[in-house]
Structure 1
């Protein structure tokens, strides 16, 4: 028997012991689907399931078409409204007029809400004077004061804009005031020690610190203004997407009503997505500090 034992390749030499089992490593190195792709897929699945359910219920004719039209009927109405128009205006024209009213009304409401929120948050006397009034207006539904605005301003554009201003101002004011009151005194003292004047503190210290909460209030305010546009356009709202829905409701044109609701919802999602982009640009530190 030879004294030298024949060396056999082992795991360290790349022998059979190092052979990887495909079944054991297949799950370990399986590529994962990116999160944005999964999110988009789930959203598409949700929308597709809803459309399928809508089509199935309409096809079963549980309710007559005047109650629940089919998706195809709503699509055909969308094409007809875009090309031929409704009440003398096309669908893009109705949408643009409503968007302009929302942008103007919520813009003025946002500006007033930020200024008022700064005053309420910084001055206790202003907080005691105007705080209850802001809370009172915030609890009022838009239809509660629409009639009063019509009496004051007539039936043209003024009552619609004022309704959206009043609807969007309180959420921004409340969010700004709460954020201002939560500013740490150390920030203010540090700014004063660096030579900042009193009138510079709200602009360069308080407002940047409160900006994430202010942007949240603006998103809420724009959403409230958008939900109020139908109420605002119940009075002489043509052209306007809310006025189109109101006019179609009078003549039981359910497909046009559903079309208007879909357009309002999709455009509202687009506006909220744009506001989220603005939030990430203006306040990139949200959630990091």
Structure 2
């Protein structure tokens, strides 16, 4: 009897299974708590989405004017129409919704990359060379204060009505946030780390690349996210002229004909794609700067 009891005790939970195979430890309390937290956040977001749809429907019914506030069903019907070929008509203005969105995203990607690259280079120079900062900072602030439409007409005069003015507009819109954030972060780099690197014989280029920029990455990423957001908000302005295909051009064209449901659909497409891109940037930030928020 004692031998049987010892055998049962030796193969109890957490040691071996019925076939004598070692069992791994179960999920920790921290992992279960984190999983429950993710489920609660997802549930809260889904609930808020349902509440917004209900409120939207109630307001649309109360207004009784679909040209002012279209109901969700009308926007959904336009989503189906613009995403398919119906009665020989392909989407909206001869292009599917996904094609309009893809063209705009390509413009936003090119403009954001160029603006971020130029802003990063300018910010590093402004943060490390005092006289350049004194000269360039007012110019960057001036450009940042200008609304995109204020200088888009000038870009059209210079570069025509094709792709060039649109890309220039998005590039100029995305540059100032990155330049300001980078210059501030580089200028405020920890002095003791810089002095320690110099004492160890590091050259100026090595100090900037190995000490200053890593310490400035959190603020730089904040500037990048702001720049991409500004580029998104400027896409409608960039596509006011000859913007079809393009989601902003589609919105402008629908506005001329009082197709409010198409306008709302375009805004939702821009907003949802913006959320996806911002989520990708946050994931990249978490991978490149894992210490942010922990120190």
- Report the TM-score when normalising by structure 1: 0.87
1:226 aligns with 2:232: yes
Of 164, 177, 187, which residue of structure 2 is paired with 1:181?
A: 187
Deviation at residue 250 of structure 1 after TM alignment = 0.7
2:196 is aligned to 190
Shift of 1:145: 0.3
Q: Deviations over 1:34-89 (max 9, x none)?
A: 111111111111110110111223234x2322222211111011011011210011
Q: How many aligned residue pairs are there?
A: 258
**Aligned-partner Cα distance in 2 for 1:270–1:128:** 37
Please give the per-residue CA displacement for 1:122-160, whole angstroms capped at 9, x wherever unaligned: 000100111110011011010100000000000000000
Task: Kindly report which structure 2 residues correspond to 1:216-255, keeping only aligned pairs within 5 A, or say none.
Answer: 216-255=222-261
Structure (1 or 2) with the larger CA radius of gyration: 1
Task: Report the equivalent of 1:159.
Answer: 165
Match of 1:4 in 2: none
| Structure 1 unaligned regions, length at least 5 | 1-30
Pairing 1:211–2:217 present: yes
Q: Which residue of 42, 46, 49 maps to 1:47?
A: 49
Once the two structures are TM-superposed, the CA of residue 195 in structure 1 deviates from its matched residue by 2.8
Query: What stretches of structure 2 of length at least 5 have no aligned partner?
Result: 1-31, 86-90
Say if 2:265 is the partner of 1:259.
yes
Aligned-residue Cα RMSD (Å) equals 1.3
The match for 2:58 is 56
Q: Identify the residue that residue 83 of structure 1 maps to in structure 2.
A: 84
Residue 183 of structure 1 aligns to a residue in which SS?
Answer: coil
1:31-42 matches, within 5 Å, as 34-42=36-44
Which 4+ stretches in 1 moved above 3 angstroms?
Answer: none
TM-score (normalised: structure 2)? 0.85
Residue 241 of structure 2 aligns to a residue whose secondary structure is coil
State how far apart, in whole Å, the 1-side matches of 2:189 and 2:172 are.
27
Q: How many angstroms apart in 2 are the aligned matches of 1:64 and 1:127? A: 53
> Which of 188, 201, 208 is the equivalent residue of 2:207?
201
> Residue 88 of structure 1 aligns to a residue in which SS?
coil
Question: 1:135 aligns to what?
Answer: 141
Deviation at 1:193?
Answer: 2.6
